Structure formats: C-alpha cells, structure tokens
Amino acid sequence: MIAKTEEFVRQTLEGEGTGHDWWHIQRVRNTALTIAKEEQADLLVVELAALLHDIADWKFYNGDLSIGPKVAREWLEKLDAPEETIRHVCDIIATISFKGAGVQTPMTTKEGKCVQDADRLDAIGAIGIARCFTYGGSKSRDLHNPTIKPVLHSTFEQYKSNAGTTLNHFYEKLFLVKDRLNTQSAKRLAEDRHKFMEDYVERFLNEWDGK
C-alpha cells in the first residue's frame, strides 16, 4: 500500500513548481515518521497521510477544502484500505493546512499532530524560505512592497484570497508556526529554524534599505 501510494504521489507531483512538489512530500514523510516514532503513533496512518496530504491542495482548486480528502479517499479505496484507516487519513488531510492567523486548526489524534507538525516544519527555516519565494514567484507576487502591510487574517476566506507580498507571508504565517506546533520533538526542531528566518528577514530589510 505504501509503495503504490508513493508511486502515485510521485507521478502526480513530480516537477510541481510552487514548492508543493514530490520532494516536499518526501521531506514531510520522513519528518513525520521520525516524530511518530517518538510519539508512539500509528506509523501506517502517519505515512499514508504524509504522502497524500498535498495530493490535491486547496490552493490550486479555488480554495476547495474537500478536494484533497476526496482524491485521497478515492485512491485508498482502490487499494482496499480499511475504512477506519481511510477515514483517519482523510480527516488529517482535511485539517492539516494553515488557514489564517486567527483560524485554529487543531488535530485530535497523535497521528494528525505528527503529520501537521512535519508539514509546518517544512514551511520554516532555510527550506521554508526557499519554498516561500518559490510560491510567491509562481503567483507573480512582489518580493516586498513597504506600502503593503501584513494582514493577520481572521478567517479562511480572507486568508485564501490574500495576494500580498512574499515578505509579508513571513509575518502572516511563517513566524506564527513555531507556537502552533503540537509535539515536543517538533518544537525542538522549530527553535533554530525560526531564529534563522528572523535573521534572514532582518538582513533582507537592511539590504532593501541599502545597508
């Protein structure tokens, strides 16, 4: 089941150009499994959810939150996965995404917490910075515009319709991630990555001002 799902996801997402590609999935899978072993979570559910969590991301389907769980369910049913496993994986996929500074997305299971933390860890630090600018470039967003201020979105509708600058995304999401992680192992990993982003943005703004 894992091998077939890996191949399905690889074929679907390989070469994707916004930072949600196969290698993102691979990193999230590896980190999620590392966290899951420490948390004593169900490794099958964690690995399947990590592999399938971006198989149909709402960002590329007009904000449709149902499309990811739907595609994942269709795939897992083809593999004759147990209904309990399918339901658990789909629940994780439906809840995993960051949906705005003022929107809570709590995971109710250990497995969900492991996958959500792994996904969020890949959004911060050095790789997170690279993915942030890759996504911004794919959407033709300005690197920075001092006249456009960050917005801490209070609803998912506001967040998904946001078209602000790439640098603003640090304030609107990436700097918030550290304090929204679920597991102690993820929180430990996040400390250094968060500091790296703070130093990067400080240097970015200094260079922007010609310093």
CATH assignment of the domain containing 112: 1.10.3210.50
The tally of domains found in the chain comes to: 1
CA-to-CA distance for 35 and 140, rounded, in angstroms? 35
pTM for this model (two decimals)? 0.93
Q: Which domain holds residue 138?
A: 2-208
Decide if 56 contacts 70 (C-beta within 8 A): yes
95 CB-near residues (< 8 Å, 6+ apart): 105, 106, 107, 112, 116
Q: Any idea which residue has 């991301």 for tokens?
A: 57
**The pLDDT value given to residue 155:** 85
Question: How confident is the chain (211 residues) per 10-residue block, as mean pLDDT?
Answer: 96 89 96 96 98 80 77 96 97 88 86 97 98 94 95 82 90 96 96 98 98 90
What is the predicted pLDDT for the residue at 97? 83
